[in-house]
Amino acid sequence: MAKKTIETGLKPEVNIQAIGSDLQVKGWDRREVLAKSSSDNDLILEERDEIIHVSSPTDCVLYVPHNATIKAENIGKSARFR
């Protein structure tokens, strides 16, 4: 299982570009974004121009600060936000 983390401020902008299967997004009280995927080598979590970009060819669980702004583009199956 792949796991990547990026430290953020209180209100990061997160762009979920492509998830090949199921997506779960969970809010938490930390100043970081954590992405977990069953795809060991292909999980992308990177910051460009103050925006955090996420993609995975398989499923993904994403933990974001409660005040994050989220944009989701291509989700392969289902998405759940909590």
pLDDT exceeds 80 at position 10: yes
> Which amino acid is residue 35, in one-letter code?
A
Please, which pLDDT band fits residue 11 given cuts at 50, 70 and 90?
A: very high
pLDDT of residue 40: 74
pLDDT of residue 41: 79
Residues 6+ apart with CB under 8 A from 56: 2, 18, 19, 20, 35, 37, 39, 42, 43, 44
pLDDT exceeds 90 at position 76: yes
pLDDT exceeds 90 at position 72: yes
User: What's the rounded Cα separation, in Å, for the pair 41 and 50?
Assistant: 24
